[in-house]
Each structure stands twice: as C-alpha cells, then as structure tokens.
C-alpha cells in the first residue's frame, strides 16, 4: 500500500536554517544539509527546503545548498521560495532538486505551471497555496507568505492548478498555521476528494494525533510540519510507529525511537 508521507520543512535564510535550534545531536544545528540528512536517517519520507532570503546573494547561497543536499541526502526533496521563472526552476533542478514548489508567482501568472510541467513534467511541480478561511467559511488565497489577499478561492485555484498540470498541492491553512491545534481537515478532505493529484497538508501540527487525523479525516496524502520536528516535540520514528498502530500505511522508521 502506498505509504502516507511525513515531510519536515526547513526554512533557510542565507544558507542557514531559521528554526531548528533545539534539534538533538547535531554539530551545526543551523546547517540545512546536516539537518536534512538527520531527518532522512530518522525516516522522513521527503524534505522541503524553503528559501526565505530576499537578496540576490542569498539566492545563490541557496542554490549552492541545493547542490550539497543532492550530494548528501538519499531521499526526494522539494525546494521553494522566490521561484518566478522557468530559469529558476531549471537552475534548481540542475542543482539536484527533485521538485520545485511555486506559490505567489503562480497566482500572479498561472501560465508558469503550464511552462514548468510542459518542460520538466508534472511530477516536479508542487503548487503551494496559502489560504485563510473567513467567518462565513470561504477560503481565500494569499500572496507573499500570507501578507496580501487575492480574489481567488482555495478550491477554484487548486482545481485550476491541477488542470494546468500541477503534480501536487501543498495547502497551508493560515488559520491553523503555528497554532498547533491540528490541520484544516475539512478543507483538506474537500481538496483530496475532488482533485486527482496528491494533497500535502500543512499548518497546525502539534501532536501525533493531528497527523493521524489529517490522514484519516482529511484524506491527506502527506503531512508537512516544521517546529514540532525541529524542537523535538515529536520524533519521526515514534510518530511512524504510532501511525502504524493506528492502521495507517507508513514507511517503517529506520531508527528505533
């Protein structure tokens, strides 16, 4: 049975991880390559590296980091942050990334999805969507890390992204992100049940039960989290054993918890 995926997300600024100060047994806790390798050895199924640098020099540092990750990590990884043109995608895939995640640039110019998938195939194109639910229950997509609202609804945009060839949707609920009260399972379930591409849940992980719920109730194909892993609140081997005991198909942990 196809395993549900557990994906740690690393925010990278000027070549260093931004969170992740409390991670055990690392010589350089701020080194994204070392942190990524540690997660891989613990049984993470994929990694996401997000470039949150704004400067040109920072972008180059990030591409160098991607090359090092590709050399040292033996599981698939996605890179995102600041990708706005086909040339960005080409550079990052050439550096060894398996997939790229696009967000604001796709909302501004949806044809970017077609261009990426026509050039490199659907499997490399993850469309990340940040959305907030209003009091009436409507979900609106946001630009620039959740700072600027758009006219688009989550479900319409996710469908359009799929039609244009996106390989996966990475949906972050801004209402749930950072609150640690669980994922936006109702919206995730609607996405998963109406789209034919995999849905990655993001935003809200606080306990291992939240991961179970997003797989069982949210029908998510994968779950992404950052701080609960970086601060050691949840260990990946323990999480995998727990999910397995709850009847969820997971790839077994490589290390004993």
When asked if residue 148 is in the footprint of other proteins (CB under 8 A), the reply is no
Among 55, 109, 118, 121, binds other proteins (CB under 8 A): 121
Q: Are 210 and 240 in contact (CB under 8 A)?
A: no
Whole-angstrom distance, CA of residue 220 vs CA of residue 192: 6
> How many residues can be counted in the chain?
257
Minimum CB–partner distance for residue 32 and other proteins (Å): 17
The residues, ordered by sequence, that sit 6+ positions from 165 with a Cβ below 8 Å of its Cβ are 113, 114, 116, 117, 118, 122, 125
Q: Which is nearer to other proteins, 174 or 195 (CB)?
A: 195
Reported as type and span, the H/E element at residue 202 is strand 199-202
11 belongs to the catalytic site: yes
Told to check if 251 binds other proteins by CB under 8 A, we report yes
User: What SS3 class is residue 63?
Assistant: helix
**Catalytically annotated residue among 31, 130, 177, 213:** 130
What part of residues 171-210 is at the interface with other proteins (CB under 8 A)? 193, 196-198
- Interface size with other proteins, residues (CB under 8 A): 32
Residue in the structure block whose two tokens are 């990426």: 116
Cα–Cα distance for residue pair 181/55, rounded to 1 Å: 34
Q: How far is the CB of 96 from other proteins (least distance, A)?
A: 5
Active site residue 221: no
The owner of tokens 């997300």 is 9
The token pair that represents 221 in the structure block? 């194909």
| Residue 70 in the binding site for other proteins (CB under 8 A) | yes
The C-alpha atoms of residue 214 and residue 227 are separated, in whole angstroms, by: 17
Is 145 a binder of other proteins (CB under 8 A)? no
Residue 98 within binding range of other proteins, rule CB under 8 A:
yes
Contact letters for other proteins, residues 35-64 (x by CB under 8 A): -----x----x-------------------
Residues that bind other proteins (CB under 8 A): 1-3, 5, 40, 45, 70-72, 74-76, 93-94, 96, 98, 120-123, 167-168, 193, 196-198, 219, 221-222, 251-252, 254
């Amino acid at each position: 049975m196809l395993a549900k995926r557990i994906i740690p997300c690393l925010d990278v600024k000027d070549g260093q991880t931004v969170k992740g100060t409390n991670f055990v047994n690392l010589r350089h806790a701020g080194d994204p390559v070392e942190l990524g390798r540690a997660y891989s050895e613990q049984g993470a199924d994929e990694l996401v590296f997000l470039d949150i640098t704004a400067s040109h020099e920072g972008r180059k540092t990030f591409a160098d980091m991607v090359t090092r990750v590709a050399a040292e990590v033996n599981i698939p990884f996605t890179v995102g942050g600041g990708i706005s043109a086909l040339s960005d995608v080409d550079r990052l895939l050439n550096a060894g990334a398996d997939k790229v995640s696009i967000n604001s640039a796709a909302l501004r110019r949806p044809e970017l999805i077609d261009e990426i998938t026509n050039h490199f195939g659907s499997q490399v194109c993850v469309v990340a969507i940040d959305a907030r639910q209003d009091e009436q229950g409507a979900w609106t997509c946001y630009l620039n890390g959740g700072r600027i609202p758009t006219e688009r609804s989550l479900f319409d945009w996710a469908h359009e992204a799929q039609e244009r060839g996106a390989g996966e949707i990475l949906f972050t609920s801004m209402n749930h992100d950072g609150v640690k009260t669980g994922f936006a399972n109702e919206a995730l379930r609607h996405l998963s049940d109406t789209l034919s591409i995999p849905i990655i849940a993001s935003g809200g992980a606080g306990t291992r039960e939240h991961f179970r719920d997003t797989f069982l109730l949210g029908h998510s194909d994968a779950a992404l989290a950052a701080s609960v892993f970086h601060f050691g609140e949840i260990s990946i081997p323990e999480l995998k054993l727990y999910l397995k005991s709850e009847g969820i198909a997971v790839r077994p942990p490589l290390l004993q918890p």
